[in-house]
């Protein structure tokens, strides 16, 4: 139940970042793309939260929950006017976000959003290292979600869309899948650690 509560809270934070822009990213093209990504991520984490809640009650699974959530809103979008192109656009947005994560990994630009002045030099270095490993894993997940959203748009089939659980499952189907899954899982664990640091030291603009 505690995990489900945390996931619901993170879902709310994603939507707050998208709608109210507490980080003051603005309305430039790159910022808008990122804020759309927050909505998609929020929906995915919302599915995980519902699945975790069901799991705590003795039914369901988190992997199925995240995929079901993604496939549900994909199906609704496909039924809308110009639905397949819209789903393809969302998929491309996810790919752009993945590319942004990889760029941030290289530049360590994410460190500017943290107030780490009170930490020692070595501690700051470890925060950046852990953040980089986490961002790589997130980039891989966003890229996979984007690719399969584009596939869903091409075939007009919401069943081809995947959430977090489905993206991890797709990794296991690749050559050396267990190794890839282990590396991404380790990266996501690192992102979890980084999130604790972010919760404490995140710099929000007034």
Q: What are the pLDDT digits (tens) for 125-137?
A: 999 999 999 999 9
- Report d(CA 165, CA 128) in Å as an integer: 26
pLDDT tens profile 92-102: 988 988 998 89
Task: For residue 148, give both structure tokens.
Answer: 């399969």
pLDDT tens profile 160-183: 988 877 888 888 888 888 899 899
* Sequence spans of domains, the chain: 2-201
- Report d(CA 63, CA 166) in Å as an integer: 7
Q: Which pTM was predicted?
A: 0.78
Phi-psi region of 184 (alpha: psi -120 to 50; beta: other; left: phi over 0): alpha
Residue 46's pLDDT band, with cuts at 50, 70 and 90, is confident
pLDDT at 145 over 70: yes
pLDDT tens profile 51-86: 667 666 766 555 556 677 788 888 988 988 888 999
**For the purposes of burial, counting CB atoms within 10 Å of the CB of 118, is it exposed (0-12), middle (13-18) or buried (19 or more)?**
exposed
Task: For residue 122, give both structure tokens.
Answer: 């070595």
Radius of gyration of the chain (CA): 17
pLDDT at 91 over 80: yes
């Amino acid at each position: 139940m505690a995990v489900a509560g945390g996931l619901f809270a993170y879902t709310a934070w994603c939507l707050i970042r998208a709608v109210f822009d507490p980080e003051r990213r603005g309305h430039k093209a790159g910022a808008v793309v990122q804020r759309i990504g927050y909505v998609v991520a929020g929906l995915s984490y919302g599915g995980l939260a519902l699945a975790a809640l069901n799991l705590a009650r003795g039914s369901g699974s988190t992997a199925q929950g995240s995929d079901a959530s993604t496939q549900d809103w994909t199906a609704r979008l496909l039924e809308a006017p110009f639905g397949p192109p819209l789903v393809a656009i969302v998929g491309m947005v996810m790919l752009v976000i993945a590319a942004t994560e990889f760029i941030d990994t290289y530049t360590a630009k994410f460190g500017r959003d943290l107030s780490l002045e009170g930490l020692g030099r070595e501690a700051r270095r470890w925060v950046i290292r852990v953040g980089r490993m986490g961002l790589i894993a997130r980039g891989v997940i966003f890229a996979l979600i984007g690719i399969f959203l584009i596939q869903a748009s091409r075939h007009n089939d919401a069943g081809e869309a995947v959430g977090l659980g489905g993206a991890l499952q797709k990794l296991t189907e690749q050559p050396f899948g267990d190794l890839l899954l282990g590396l991404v899982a380790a990266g996501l664990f690192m992102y979890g650690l980084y999130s604790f640091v972010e919760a404490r030291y995140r710099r929000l603009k007034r």
